[in-house]
Amino acid sequence: MLLQLRSHATPRDLESIRALASELGYEVRTLDASGRVLELCRRADGRPVRPSAHHRSLFEDLAGVRAVLDNREAPELSERAQARADTVVTVAGAAFGGGRVSIIAGPCAVEDEGRLLEIARCVRDAGATLLRGGAFKPRTSPYSFQGLGEAGLALLGEVGRATGLGIVTELLDPRDVDSVLDVADMIQIGSRSMSNAALLVEAGRSGKPVLLKRGLAATARELLLAAEYVLSQDNPNVVLCERGIRGFDDVTRNVLDVGLVAHLSRATHLPVIVDPSHAAGRPDLVLPLARAGIAAGADGLIVEVHPEPSEARSDGAQAVHPRVFAELVAAVQGLLRLDGRELATLPAAGSTERALAEERAR
Ligand code: PEP
Ligand code: MN
């Protein structure tokens, strides 16, 4: 590892760096005349030292260190090291990454069983492989509908079983982890929770695939470090999600950062999906933003769908009608063909339910 020191690093800062290096088992060599670049090498005597992302962070946190320059020896778990293949995250019938693309769709929040079942059938028949729906909703106002909670989870479980769709739902509080795990095939960590370390560790420990949404003002590095919390719990199944960041114009709810999508496919081996609904904040832009995300290389989409947006209890203003969702899936399939990629789909419409009914009858 190479350390670049700050120009104003004091002799005491240097002492702390040397003390940490020695404690971890490194020998320190000064590489340039100014003394501002230090190389940490394995000590010839003593136990062999293995540079790690943890060591790298310990040095980065010291006051005298400006940057750790050469990270090849100590990559973070999310980093795309040389020749590292894409991580493919599989969830129920869906697959994200390595050329596989899947679509998650459903209402913003679980409202009632009939509506959830209706939406689930529509999105499944149009080509979605996972059903989304929040039982615990992270609303901006404490007076807004907060979700049905446990009752919502029970409905998700029932509708998932009835339609053959895997379930994606948000974990908002570490205390709910067991009940969420009972029904979720994939745990959503929402934008507002992206930097909640306790929640990330809990999601990591669960071993379930995690959908990690970018905070609305989070940098790429912050998103990847949030993913690192999950990965470092020995859970490799993380899907990142770009859902738009804060901008200055209110023509869209957020600004979809397609640059980040393209960047992440170079910076990390983890799959990345796009949420055009929370980026657009209005139904007419969901389809074009979905196309933009896929064109930028996204490994999937998460889309809010509702047949009666004016009756939706949250995010009705951005929900697309099932008919528009079907058009969106067709548009995505067209783009994927150009790319030599394919959409993971469930067996043909109706056959899943028939198979499930037959299974129940046996
Ligand atoms: C959601 O998916 O409904 C949601 C609340 O998203 P975000 O966390 O991106 O705001
Ligand atoms: Mn929503």
pLDDT tens for 93-137 read: 899 999 999 999 999 999 999 999 999 999 999 999 999 999 999
- Residue 74 makes CB contacts below 8 A (sequence gap 6+) with 1, 51, 52, 53, 55, 56, 68
Phi first, then psi, for residue 282 (nearest 5°) are -150, 145
Q: How far is the centre of ligand 2, averaged over its atoms, from the C-alpha of 121 (Å)?
A: 19
**Average pLDDT score over residue span 76-91:** 90
Burial of 139 (0-12, 13-18, 19+ CB in 10 A): middle
Q: Which atom of ligand 1 is nearest to the CA of 108?
A: 3
Question: Does residue 215 have its Cβ closer than 6 Å to ligand 1?
Answer: no
261-307, pLDDT tens digit by residue?
A: 999 999 999 999 999 999 999 999 999 999 999 999 999 999 999 99
Q: What is the pTM of this model?
A: 0.91
Ion ligand 2, residue ranges at CB < 5 A: 108, 315
Compute and round to an integer the Cα radius of gyration of the chain: 23
> What's the rounded Cα separation, in Å, for the pair 243 and 257?
8
51-63, pLDDT tens digit by residue?
A: 888 999 999 999 9
Between 162-166, 226-230, 233-237, 358-362, the lowest mean confidence (pLDDT) is in 358-362
* The pLDDT of residue 245: 98
Q: Which amino acid is at 255?
A: V
Question: Does residue 106 have its Cβ closer than 6 Å to ligand 1?
Answer: no
* The pLDDT of residue 353: 64
Question: Does residue 134 have its Cβ closer than 6 Å to ligand 1?
Answer: yes
From the CA of 134, the nearest ligand is 1
